[in-house]
Structure 1
């Protein structure tokens, strides 16, 4: 291949990676970790693999579309914040119009894919998720209130609802409890990261809690929401088996301990590492939901 050919190939590859980056693949990965256990719990040990595959494809399209549209809406503040300055739109790696069309195409595709392969309810839930994330969280709440991630985090809870509805065609109480787990988990997870980048949020004019409140107030909220998360996981144990219940107790103890350690450090005025809680909160959620998936897949007897 000629030098010109290599340059053209590298340019096309770079463009493809930029479009992929718009979808925030790491966020999608975390969402799918919660959707699969929800499907397995919905019909313990009896979910057809094709249903899981089709739901994951639809869920990936929905999350990719929502994340891309979020990048479009947040392009101005992404340029200001150090953490996001390398995102495709912040560095003009993708034209804004192209990104908008790309996000809308993915979003529409997610609805029709889920409707075609699972049921209408799942498709409608995907549309509701995208609309809520873009219009309610990104455009309405994010730049106006410190409670942005408290209520805006509801969008990240929807994969469990979509997964449950794809299998059953309805919404059962365990799906609502799983929704609550992720809803309560999102604030401490996000605020721990925002503590590290609070100057970024201040520069961008985004009133994330660590940017507008004292560290003591932030960690106090983190502890409260961490406890609520763990309590919700214990409620879900009523629909699961002993394996999930045991992991929920152990992992919950670990998660609460980390939150209290962060709070204690702030109270003492000692150096703290909020990013540790941010990273470990990912592991916590993954461990709890993986235990739920395994418990459901082998259909262990439920506790009640």
Structure 2
């Protein structure tokens, strides 16, 4: 890794944004905000929105900053991540730790004072699980890392529900499980595309240790579970026709793309998986937007 280099004030914001990986945060908000609407049975109050948008974003930023600190050496080995600021030396480890600690403290305390104790505890659990459970323990040790480590990405929906209700209900856990099943179907295609990077960094992602066909088969399996879960949500929560139609159409598209990936992987070990990855993001956004619209209309 490079030695820390002087960073101008003009570029410091860019460096901080790169440290906290804002693109990951966007998807968390897409899932959390509709759950506020569902839990409030309409438009939520401004405190709830602030809790999710402001302190939820800060929490995710803090978790991502810790991840960047811990993975700085492996990031240096991977083409996809070798330009991150801790690798290039645009920010020091000490400064990054200060940023991560401040973000973590601010998010948890903000959730406590703006929302409630349940939301604060779940926020702390989400950050802790992502940093300790996934980044430190699971990711470097098992090819199922993204399955169980993906639990961290499921927390925003239950945090959002707890902000409104002060607890997590069956509805929250069903939405939690939707994101849980979706995560491997979303991330394994990306990991397959960058498997040489992961192999170079000695990270045992499933595509590093198994064939592309096996990865595609598991991707399809988790896609099936995701689509089934979306239909269970419709029946248990008691949503309307808007959600059902979107869930069916988006689910069919997701299944067909995952199936096509499997067919191509059987014929070509290097078959591309990126169309599944890209559509999986669209799928999750559509499902949660449909959830919000269904409640509001």
Shorter-chain TM-score tier: over 0.9
Could you say which residue in structure 1 is the equivalent of 2:208? 211
Could you say which residue in structure 2 is the equivalent of 1:106? 103
Q: Secondary structure at the match of 1:205?
A: coil
The question of whether the paired residues in 2 share the 8 Å contact of 1:130 and 1:155 is answered with yes
1:274 Cα offset (Å):
0.8
- CA deviations 1:189-223 (Å, max 9, x no partner) are 11101111100000000000001101111111001
Q: Counterparts in 2 of 1:86-101, with a 5 A limit?
A: 86-101=83-98
Q: Secondary structure at the match of 1:47?
A: coil
Distance 1:270 1:98 in 2: 43
Structure 2 gap ranges (5+):
1-5
Q: Secondary structure at the match of 1:84?
A: coil
Q: How many residues align?
A: 290
Distance 1:63 1:148 in 2: 19
Could you say which residue in structure 1 is the equivalent of 2:3? none
1:280 Cα offset (Å):
1.0
1:146 Cα offset (Å):
0.2
2:270 is the alignment partner of 1:265: no
Distance 2:86 2:177 in 1: 33
Could you say which residue in structure 1 is the equivalent of 2:274? 275
Question: RMSD value over aligned CA atoms?
Answer: 1.3
Distance 1:253 1:49 in 2: 36
The question of whether the paired residues in 1 share the 8 Å contact of 2:211 and 2:269 is answered with no
1:50 Cα offset (Å):
3.5
The question of whether the paired residues in 1 share the 8 Å contact of 2:66 and 2:97 is answered with yes
Could you say which residue in structure 2 is the equivalent of 1:297? 296
- CA deviations 1:258-287 (Å, max 9, x no partner) are 000000111123863211111111011111
The question of whether the paired residues in 2 share the 8 Å contact of 1:153 and 1:186 is answered with yes
Could you say which residue in structure 2 is the equivalent of 1:145? 142
Could you say which residue in structure 2 is the equivalent of 1:82? 79
The question of whether the paired residues in 1 share the 8 Å contact of 2:213 and 2:269 is answered with no
The question of whether the paired residues in 2 share the 8 Å contact of 1:55 and 1:118 is answered with no
Could you say which residue in structure 2 is the equivalent of 1:25? 22
Question: Which range is displaced more, 146-155 or 54-63?
Answer: 54-63
Q: Secondary structure at the match of 2:85?
A: coil
The question of whether the paired residues in 2 share the 8 Å contact of 1:37 and 1:296 is answered with no
Could you say which residue in structure 2 is the equivalent of 1:302? none
Distance 1:245 1:29 in 2: 25
1:54 Cα offset (Å):
2.6
- CA deviations 1:13-53 (Å, max 9, x no partner) are 21221011111111000000000111111121142233212
2:181 is the alignment partner of 1:198: no
1:55 Cα offset (Å):
2.3
- CA deviations 1:51-79 (Å, max 9, x no partner) are 21232211101100000000000000000
Counterpart among 42, 47, 65 of residue 45 in structure 1: 42
Deviant stretches of 4+, over 6 Å: none
TM-score of the superposed pair, with normalisation by structure 2: 0.95
